[in-house]
Amino acid sequence: NSQAVSLAIILIVSFVLIYSLSSILMPVFASIVLAYLLEGLVGKAEDNGMPRLPAVYLVFSVFMACLGFLLFYLMPLVSQQAVELVQNIPEIINSAQRGVMRLPEMYPKLISESKIQQMMFAVQKELLTYGQNVLSLSAASVVGIVSALIYLFLVPMMVFFLLKDKELLISWFLQFMPKDRNLTVRVWEEVDIQIGNYVRGKFAEIFILWFVSYTTFATLDLNYAMLLAVLMGVQVIIPYIGATLVTFPVLGVAYFQWGLSGDDFMYLVIAYSIIQALDGVVLVPVLFSEAVNLHAIAIIVAILFFGGLWGFWGVFFAIPLATVVKAVLTAWPRLGDNSSAIFADINAKDPSKF
């Protein structure tokens, strides 16, 4: 089947290029992702009667405004709160040690003092290793800052031209594609809507969770409200696992700020539980109603596999990539699809075989 061969070649070449050149062409891939995200807004503006070029300028202006808010307000505030949290870690550890050392007195038959000391020694050892890793990362941060500055200039520029010259770029790209590409087109059309809905829905979910969480934490006067709200937003990138991981810093900060005896801690636990419940029961079904249902095991395997290959972006696009795999497997031609035609052809040539 020539169409199946063409699809297989396209998939293999795409995978090899992305895997081998991901570190070099990361700004290009990031620009494609952002342009794909913004294309939905441009399309909606065109549906309302606006010409494409003004729609591109409008959407790109909104994108740059959001980028400016992210760079000049949100990131400095989050960085400041992260530094404050790191500076308070020794005090938090001492407070935790005092609380843990009281456990043998409260439960002498269950917990011994020697076990507590061994546990605290192991924790201190892990924290020391983590601190050394942070120092090594900070030593290489200069190169990272220079790369980030270059990306901040290149990525928005590429996003603009990807939106502006979409048809021209697609026409140029299609000339390298095989002529017999009906199967490839069918697979792409099947996953295009689903991936678009997923990416746009995921960004919307991140924004909504961040906004609601920050409003809630700030109202309760929780320390590091913006930092924890950002964690609440980005935790949806890793389904199932992210919600579990973000629980520890949120409840940990609340515990060290208020303790377990006050009402504030209980209010925080209730509010946090409501936010997580509304995300799973209301927000996800509304935003991802058109997404393909994947089994939880398939999602976890996709996160582990693609995250191991491409890090953050692999985790973020694990579900869309799993959707692509599912669409390819569904559309892939099988022997049973053409068995009647094959048998009819054989019967016409030699009826004695049947």
Alpha carbon distance 226, 80 (integer Å): 10
135-168: per-residue pLDDT in tens? 555 444 555 666 777 788 889 999 999 999 988 9
| In the predicted structure, residue 185 carries a pLDDT above the cut 50 | yes
DSSP annotation of 293 reads P
Q: At what angle do helices 89-101 and 113-139 cross, to 10 degrees?
A: 170
- Residues 6 or more apart whose Cβ sits within 8 Å of residue 318: 299, 302, 303, 305, 306, 307
**Rounded CA gap, 139 and 178, in Å?**
48
Opening angle at CA 174, ends 168 and 175, nearest 5:
100
Exposure class string for 311-322: b at 16+ Cβ within 10 A, else e: eebbbbbbbbbb
List, for residues 198-212, the tens digit of each pLDDT value: 777 888 889 999 999
With contact defined as beta carbons under 8 Å apart, do 205 and 279 qualify? yes
Task: List Cβ neighbours of 243 (8 Å cut-off, separation of 6 or more).
Answer: 235, 236, 276, 279
42: tokens are 């441009």
Is residue 218 within 8 Å of 298, Cβ to Cβ?
no
Q: Tell me if 225 sits within 8 A of 214, measured CB to CB.
A: yes
Distance CA 216, CA 276 (A): 13
Q: pLDDT for 304-339, tens place per residue? A: 888 888 777 777 777 777 877 877 777 676 544 554
Give the separation between CA 231 and CA 274, rounded to whole angstroms: 16
Residue 229 has pLDDT above 80, yes or no: yes
Q: What is the pLDDT of residue 345?
A: 44
Answer yes or no: are the C-beta atoms of 253 and 228 closer than 8 Å: yes
Q: Tokens 């697979």 identify what position?
A: 187
Top pLDDT among 144 and 251 is at 251
Helices and strands: H and E segment counts in the chain: 17, 0
Please check whether residue 187 is in contact with residue 331, taking contact to mean a CB–CB distance below 8 angstroms: yes
Identify the pLDDT of residue 145.
67
CB atoms within 10 A of CB 260: 10
Residue 349 confidence (pLDDT): 47
What pLDDT is attached to residue 346?
A: 38
Q: Give the domain ranges of the chain.
A: 6-180, 182-333
- Note the pLDDT of residue 134: 55
Separation between Cα atoms, residue 246 and residue 345, nearest integer Å: 62
